[in-house]
Amino acid sequence: MKSIILLFLIILLLSSALIADDLYLVELENHNQAQTLILSKTDPVLRMGNQYLILADKSEIQVIKNSGIKAEIVASVTRLEELALDQAYDDRNLKKFEKLYENDGLRILSVPPEELTHADEAPTLLPLKDRKVRVKYMPPIMAIR
């Protein structure tokens, strides 16, 4: 019986590693790049102007880079279910969870999914798994002379 449970746990761990992707920061410079990102097999999880945090595997990010989109890795082997926006004004969540990304007051943490299911216990953590991110390019506003 113990060997069956152990085998089940090993299979579970391997399967979760197989569905995990890497977290990338990509920056769009035109409408064609936005269309490329839309058609890709990536998961956009957060938009910040023309920058997006996306989940992608190594082969798909290579396609993205080859199309001219700037992309840099933020975190390796990440699952969408573990991503949360940290809405705390202090560093209390940093004491418990791994910081994956931070810029201009925006902080993304890796949080075990079971911690995110109890919103009353983690009111400053916003799960990103249920957010629908629309990809679009916004041209810079031109100065009027």
What pTM, to 2 d.p., does this model score?
0.80
143 pLDDT band, cuts 50/70/90, is: very low
Looking up residue 123, the CATH number of its domain turns out to be: 3.30.70
The tally of domains found in the chain comes to 1
- Domain of 80 in residue numbering reads as 20-127
On whether residue 1 sits in a domain, the answer given is: no
On whether residue 74 sits in a domain, the answer given is: yes
On whether residue 75 sits in a domain, the answer given is: yes
Provide the sign of the torsion angle of the four alpha carbons 82, 83, 87, 89, taken in this order: positive
On whether residue 65 sits in a domain, the answer given is: yes
On whether residue 8 sits in a domain, the answer given is: no
Q: Read off the pLDDT of residues 52-104 as tens digits, 9 standing for 90 and up.
A: 999 999 999 999 999 999 999 999 998 999 999 999 988 889 999 999 999 99
On whether residue 133 sits in a domain, the answer given is: no
Q: Read off the pLDDT of residues 13-39 as tens digits, 9 standing for 90 and up.
A: 444 444 689 999 999 999 999 999 999
- 4: helix, strand or coil: helix
